[in-house]
Amino acid sequence: MPELPEVETVVRDLRPLLLGRSFVKIAVSRKSLRRKWSRAWEATLLDRCVHAIRRRGKWIVIELGIPCLVAHLGMTGQLTVASADQPREAHTHVVFTLDDQTELRFRDVRRFGSVTVFPTMVHADRYFLQISLGPEPFDLTDGRWFGSLNATRRNLKAILLDQTIVAGVGNIYADESLFEARLHPTTLGNAVTRKQAKSLRLAMVAVLTRAIEKRGSSIRDYIGGSGLKGEMQNEFRVYGRTGEPCRRCRTTIVRIVLAGRSTHYCPRCQVLGTIVEPQRLRRARASRSPKATG
Catalytic choice (55, 58, 107, 157): 58
Please report how the helices 4-18 and 194-213 are oriented relative to each other, as an axis angle in degrees rounded to 10: 40
CB atoms near residue 217 (< 10 Å): 26
Q: Provide the 8-state DSSP code for 168.
A: S
SS3 of 85-122: CCCCCCCEEEEEEECCCEEEEEEECCCCCEEEEECCHH
CB of 122 to DNA, least distance (A): 19
Instruction: Please confirm, yes or no, whether 153 is among the known catalytic residues.
Output: no
How many Cα neighbours within 13 Å face the side chain of 72? 18
Which of 39, 153 has the CB closer to DNA? 153
CB of 264 to DNA, least distance (A): 8
Query: Buried (b) or exposed (e) across 51-80, using 16+ Cβ within 10 A?
Result: eebebbbbbbbbbbeebbbbbbbbbbbbbb
Which of 102, 233 has the CB closer to DNA? 233
Instruction: Please confirm, yes or no, whether 58 is among the known catalytic residues.
Output: yes
Instruction: Please confirm, yes or no, whether 2 is among the known catalytic residues.
Output: yes
Catalytic choice (144, 261, 267, 268): 261
CB of 120 to DNA, least distance (A): 20
CA distances for 246 relative to 95, 164, 252, angstroms: 44, 31, 6
CB of 261 to DNA, least distance (A): 5
Count of helix runs (H) and strand runs (E) in the chain: 8, 10
In the complex, which residues of this chain contact DNA (CB under 7 A)? 1-3, 31-32, 34, 57-58, 72, 74-75, 90-91, 109-112, 131, 151-155, 158, 161, 163, 170-172, 220, 255, 257-262
CB of 141 to DNA, least distance (A): 21
Which of 21, 261 has the CB closer to DNA? 261
Instruction: Please confirm, yes or no, whether 63 is among the known catalytic residues.
Output: no
Q: Rounded to 5 degrees, what are φ and ψ at 109?
A: -60, -50
Which of 23, 236 has the CB closer to DNA? 236
Which of 29, 97 has the CB closer to DNA? 29
Catalytic residue annotation: 2-3, 58, 261
